[in-house]
Amino acid sequence: MKVGVVTFPGSLDDRDAARAVRAAGAEAVSLWHADADLKKVDAVILPGGFSYGDYLRCGAISRFAPVMTSIIERANVGMPVLGICNGFQILCESHLLPGALTRNVGLHFLCTPQPIRIENISTPWTNNFQQGAEIVIPLKNGEGSFQCDDKTLDQLESEGRVIARYVGENPNGSRNLIAGISNARGNVVGLMPHPEHAIDSLTGPTADGLAFFTSVLTAMVGK
């Protein structure tokens, strides 16, 4: 099975995401922002980084890349899409996910091993976790504070679309400690912390992140 990893100008974690895909046993296919062709992939990852420098607003410019038009189309008919960090920001800017990611309350870039709890294991990106599992993966961003209006928040909570929550002190001011959410259908997931940097405890704080990538394999094979 093939998982596409998009490279935008300024993407940084594309190679790490591809490595994680391979570690999970799938084929990683590199997708280029300016190319609308999705090369027959079964799922797509939008990796972390500072696409276009994130100078205007994180993800604001990448959202208009040709590859996004194709991804939005396929996402709307159920293709699994995972946006990590900058990828999450792009998904929000694209309106595939609600809300927005804003400046951390501490006003600093923050890089730290972050405990999170998996709150929904029915998505294609989380099905290999135990419900309520507490894991530690890196969090690293300057604009990771999830914000939305009350109505959206209620909806996310009542529909079980908060897929991961920070454990312990709120690292960035996110509403309801939200670390990740999904769309209504569950196939599109945005996650602020970085599972691709936690696939091996040699280079990451843990290997807890790998299950996000094996999950999508399980989801596709099960189909």
Residues labelled as active-site residues: 85, 194, 196
Q: Look at residues 60, 125, 53, 64 and name the one whose alpha carbon lies nearest to residue 89.
A: 60
Tokens of 139: 């969090």
Q: Under the criterion CB under 8 A, does residue 60 sit at the interface with another protein?
A: yes
Q: What's the min distance (Å) between Cβ of 19 and another protein?
A: 6
Does residue 124 contact residue 186 with C-beta atoms inside 8 Å?
A: yes
Separation between Cα atoms, residue 163 and residue 191, nearest integer Å: 8
Does residue 181 contact residue 153 with C-beta atoms inside 8 Å?
A: no
Q: Under the criterion CB under 8 A, does residue 77 sit at the interface with another protein?
A: no
Instruction: Please select the residue that binds another protein; options are 30, 73, 76, 106, rule is CB under 8 A.
Output: 106
Does residue 115 contact residue 136 with C-beta atoms inside 8 Å?
A: yes
Does residue 144 contact residue 101 with C-beta atoms inside 8 Å?
A: yes
Q: What's the min distance (Å) between Cβ of 175 and another protein?
A: 8
Instruction: Please select the residue that binds another protein; options are 42, 93, 119, 208, rule is CB under 8 A.
Output: 93
Instruction: Please select the residue that binds another protein; options are 138, 144, 180, 186, rule is CB under 8 A.
Output: 138
Query: Interface residues with another protein (CB under 8 A)?
Result: 9-10, 12-13, 15-16, 19, 49-50, 52-57, 60-61, 64, 92-93, 98-100, 102-112, 138, 140, 142, 145, 147-150, 173, 194, 196-197, 202-204
